[in-house]
Amino acid sequence: MRKLQLSRRTLLRGALGGAGIAIALPLLEAMLNDNGTALAQGQELPKRLGIFFWGNGVKLDRWNPTATGADWAFSPSLEPLGDLKPYVSVVSGMKIMTGNERGHHAGTVGILSGAPMIPQPHPNSGYVSTFSAPSIDQVAAAAIGANQRFKSLEIGISRRVVKGEGTTLMHLSHNGPDSTNPPEYDPAAVFNRVFGDGFTPPGQGPSVAEVTRGLKQSVLDAVKADITSLKGKVGASDARRLDQHLENVRLIENQLKITTPITGAMCKLPVNPGSFPDKSGQEQIEEKMTAMSSLIAMALACDLTRVFSVMFSGSVCSTVFSQVGATGGHHSLTHDEPGDQPMVQATTVYTVKQFAILLNALRAVTEGDGNVLDRCAIIASSDTADGRAHSINDYPILIAGKAGGALVHPGVHYRSNGENTSKVLLTLLRGVGMQLTDFGVKGGNVSEGCTAIEA
């Protein structure tokens, strides 16, 4: 019997309140070749690049694993990664080679762009700087994201960032000097942007989000007949993928519950419970990270974007990690806590836990013969090696995902002897399909990647 073949752009269609609506589908086996390794029309499954960034470094004596190679074991800082270990490589011993004119500034620009920072006049603050080159998410977005609905997605978690020292400390994603892509900190706003108006094809009527809110009905109910018809045609595996995908849509819809009726054009929506406002002055960090991770995973699964960045906490941030008992801002804590800084260490472990939440969300979404994380290349790093020392030697770097087979799996611990961190950036960009002979500017320029983490 001939295998059913579907286009990657197939939509579930229906009507709600007299309006035509459509829901994008996840990647199904019916859209793939017989081996589940490429689209049925011959195109490769998409690769994605991601960044997870936190401020103020780590405690290196509790960060670096003691063993190298494939048999590395978790250090105290990395234990929250748990069964994600096969998906993660640790790179230690590398150095930012783009200069260290100003602590956190130089490290941020160097690890995210492979280029020097640009110092700027600072009459009203201690220091001001910006990027001299695009951050790697935007380098990748120009190549693999140009044809997607969203060239890239910028996500923020902790809002307590520095706003008076230029674009370097305030934003992660840069197009170039003084040109940024500010992160969105509100999960409900991310949902509206990604799965609202832009999620319904032009000419199909009101957006999925607007119709759902306005009529207090699920879009899934509206396309029930199309779902039933499609599930009768695909195999058991695809039917399970459909169920998982549609359940994720339902969960996100539930984050946008309406508490007052909408009676007309002048009616305004209430505060969305998916926004996770501060409670008693404390940020809901883990709750927001969980919601954002789900949104990122679905955006990638629907191929709405192929590039994302998560600014978990900013450089020199004043984030208060009350979840682990901290009472003061994180940057001050890294400088003021005496001794071997147990509270700073606790915040690092908590940060790694949040990274694990993101990776687990990506791994949970089935795609082809694997999952979304299989086709991601993600770098997790910070603005310094050790926050108290403002050091840029022995830089903390985690690499996650397989990049569709371009990155080594299971992961390894590679201990460098002072190589350029730009080698890792070049490997990631090549891993998602960019044909680059070199990468970086001035001291950050390299022509070889980090071969130890390449498959």
Q: How many CA atoms lie within 13 A of 58 on its CB side?
A: 27
What whole-number distance in Å separates Cα of residue 113 and Cα of residue 84? 27
> At how many degrees (to 10) do helices 285-301 and 187-195 cross?
10
List of residues 6+ apart from 361 with CB closer than 8 A: 290, 293, 294, 296, 297
- Adjacent-strand bridge partners of 54: 382
Beta strand spans in 202-344 (E): 307-311
Number of Cβ atoms within 10 Å of the Cβ of 264? 6
Coil/strand/helix, residue 381:
strand
What whole-number distance in Å separates Cα of residue 56 and Cα of residue 319? 11
Coil/strand/helix, residue 247:
helix
Pick the CATH number of 46-186+285-453 from 3.40.50, 3.30.1360, 3.40.720, 1.10.10: 3.40.720
Coil/strand/helix, residue 176:
strand
What whole-number distance in Å separates Cα of residue 274 and Cα of residue 262? 18
Averaged pLDDT score across all residues of the chain: 85
What whole-number distance in Å separates Cα of residue 199 and Cα of residue 207? 7
Provide the token pair at 161: 């960032």
Tell the residue number behind the tokens 């549609």, with chain if given.
Answer: 246
What whole-number distance in Å separates Cα of residue 282 and Cα of residue 303? 34
What whole-number distance in Å separates Cα of residue 119 and Cα of residue 105? 9
Coil/strand/helix, residue 47:
coil
Provide the token pair at 131: 């990027």
Q: Are 214 and 282 in contact (CB under 8 A)?
A: no
Q: What is the maximal distance between C-alpha atoms in the chain?
A: 74
What whole-number distance in Å separates Cα of residue 405 and Cα of residue 91? 18
Amino acid letter, residue 71: D
What whole-number distance in Å separates Cα of residue 295 and Cα of residue 194? 9
Domain boundaries, the chain: 10-34+187-275, 46-186+285-453
Coil/strand/helix, residue 400:
strand
Q: Are 422 and 428 in contact (CB under 8 A)?
A: no
Q: Which of 402, 18, 21, 453 is nearest to 209 (CA)?
A: 21
pLDDT at 205: 41
Q: Which of 449, 433, 420 is nearest to 49 (CA)?
A: 433
The parts of the chain modelled with pLDDT lower than 70 are 1-43, 197-223, 237, 240-241, 244-274
Q: Are 179 and 166 in contact (CB under 8 A)?
A: no
DSSP result, 325-377: T--S-HHHHHHH--TT-HHHHHHHHHHHHHHHHHHHHHHTSEETTEEGGGGEE
Q: Are 19 and 222 in contact (CB under 8 A)?
A: no
What whole-number distance in Å separates Cα of residue 419 and Cα of residue 397? 13
What whole-number distance in Å separates Cα of residue 85 and Cα of residue 337? 31
DSSP result, 81-150: GGGGGGGEEEEES-B--S--SSHHHHHHHHHHHSS-EEEE--TTSS-EEEESS--HHHHHHHHHSTTSSS
Coil/strand/helix, residue 428:
helix
Specify the pTM: 0.80
pLDDT at 211: 44
List of residues 6+ apart from 34 with CB closer than 8 A: 3
List of residues 6+ apart from 228 with CB closer than 8 A: none
Q: Are 301 and 372 in contact (CB under 8 A)?
A: yes
